[in-house]
Structure 1
Amino acid sequence: MQRAVIDSNRTSPFPSPPTNETPALCFSINSPPFNYTPTIASAYFSAVFSGLGLSSNLFALVVLLKAFQRTRSRSRSSFLVFLCGLVFTDFMGLLVTGSIVVSFHITHFNWRLLDPHCHFCNFFGMSMVFYGLCPLLLGTAMAVERFMGINKPFSRSGNMSKARACYMVALVWLFAGCVGLLPLVGLGSYHLQIPGSWCFLNIGPAPRDLGFGLVFSLVGLLSLAASFLLNTVSVVTLVRVCCRQDGAQRRRDYEVEMMVQLIFIMLIASVCWCPLLVFIAETVLRGEPLRVRYLLLWLRFATWNQILDPWVYILFRRSVLKRIYPRMDWSRGSILTLYTSVRKLTRASLGGGGLTPGAEAGGAETPAAES
Structure 2
Amino acid sequence: MYAAMESPNFTHGSTTVNETQAQPSRPPALPVFMFAGGAVGNLIAIVVLSVSRQERKSSAFYTLVCGLAVTDLLGTCLASPITIANYMDRHVLEDKCVCEFQSFLLLFFGLTGLSIICAMAAERYLAICCPYTYQRWAVDRRFAQRFLVCIYASHVLFCCLPMMGTVRSELQTSRSWCFIDWRTREPAAAAYSILYGTVSLLLIVGTIVLNLAVCGALLLMRRRTATRPVTKGSVRERWKALSSAAETQMIAVLVMTSAVVLACSAPLVVRVFAHRFLLKNEPKADLTAIRIASVNAILDPWIYILLRRSLFRRLLSLSRNGSCSSSSSAQRTLFHPDITRDGHVFTQLMCNANIITQLPANVKFTQRDADRVQQT
| Same fold flag (TM > 0.5) | yes
Confirm or deny: 8 A CA contact 2:173 2:283 kept in the other structure.
yes
Q: In structure 1, what is the equivalent of residue 211 of structure 2?
A: 231
Aligned identity (percent) is 23
Confirm or deny: 8 A CA contact 1:188 1:208 kept in the other structure.
yes
> For the residues of structure 2 that align with 1:199 and 1:237, how far apart are their CA atoms?
43
The yes-or-no answer on 1:161 pairing with 2:171 is no
Cα 1:282/1:108, change in 2 over 3 Å: closer
> For the residues of structure 2 that align with 1:158 and 1:235, how far apart are their CA atoms?
23
Confirm or deny: 8 A CA contact 1:152 1:158 kept in the other structure.
no
CA deviations over 1:102-129 (Å, ceiling 9, x no partner): 11212333544xx3xx222211111110
> For the residues of structure 2 that align with 1:124 and 1:219, how far apart are their CA atoms?
20
The yes-or-no answer on 1:213 pairing with 2:204 is no
> For the residues of structure 2 that align with 1:325 and 1:257, how far apart are their CA atoms?
11
- TM-score if structure 2 supplies the norm length? 0.77
User: Quick one: which of 92, 107, 115 aligns to 2:74?
Assistant: 92
Confirm or deny: 8 A CA contact 2:56 2:62 kept in the other structure.
no
One-letter code aligned to 1:341: M
Cα 1:17/1:257, change in 2 over 3 Å: closer
Confirm or deny: 8 A CA contact 2:25 2:90 kept in the other structure.
no
One-letter code aligned to 2:302: W
Q: In structure 1, what is the equivalent of residue 35 of structure 2?
A: 50
Q: In structure 1, what is the equivalent of residue 372 of structure 2?
A: 356
Q: Which moved more, 1:204-213 or 1:58-67?
A: 204-213
The yes-or-no answer on 1:345 pairing with 2:355 is yes
Cα distance, 1:292 vs structure 2 = 0.7
The yes-or-no answer on 1:38 pairing with 2:24 is yes
Q: Which moved more, 1:253-262 or 1:273-282?
A: 253-262
Cα 1:106/1:276, change in 2 over 3 Å: same
CA deviations over 1:230-251 (Å, ceiling 9, x no partner): 2222221122222233574245
User: Quick one: which of 85, 90, 105 aligns to 1:108?
Assistant: 90
- 3-state SS in 2 of match to 1:197: coil
Cα distance, 1:263 vs structure 2 = 3.2
Q: In structure 1, what is the equivalent of residue 104 of structure 2?
A: 126
> For the residues of structure 2 that align with 1:275 and 1:338, how far apart are their CA atoms?
45
> For the residues of structure 1 that align with 2:184 and 2:175, how far apart are their CA atoms?
22
User: Quick one: which of 142, 146, 156 aligns to 1:177?
Assistant: 156
Map 1:1-371 → 2, pairs under 5 A = 32=17, 34-35=19-20, 37-40=23-26, 42-67=27-52, 70-72=53-55, 77-112=59-94, 115=95, 118-155=96-133, 156-157=135-136, 159-206=138-185, 207-245=187-225, 248=237, 249-252=239-242, 253-254=245-246, 256-286=248-278, 288-326=279-317, 327-328=319-320, 330-332=327-329, 335-336=339-340, 340-341=349-350, 344-346=354-356, 355-356=371-372
- 3-state SS in 2 of match to 1:211: helix
> For the residues of structure 2 that align with 1:34 and 1:172, how far apart are their CA atoms?
42
Task: Extract unaligned runs of 5+ from structure 1.
Answer: 1-15, 361-371
> For the residues of structure 2 that align with 1:295 and 1:46, how far apart are their CA atoms?
16
- TM-score if structure 1 supplies the norm length? 0.78
One-letter code aligned to 1:172: I
> For the residues of structure 1 that align with 2:357 and 2:310, how far apart are their CA atoms?
33
Task: Extract unaligned runs of 5+ from structure 2.
Answer: 227-235, 331-337, 360-366
Cα 1:159/1:111, change in 2 over 3 Å: closer
Confirm or deny: 8 A CA contact 1:217 1:277 kept in the other structure.
yes
**RMSD over aligned Cα atoms:** 3.3
- 3-state SS in 2 of match to 1:191: strand
CA deviations over 1:43-69 (Å, ceiling 9, x no partner): 1222122112111111111112212xx
> For the residues of structure 2 that align with 1:17 and 1:354, how far apart are their CA atoms?
69
Q: How many residues align?
A: 329
Q: Which moved more, 1:332-341 or 1:137-146?
A: 332-341
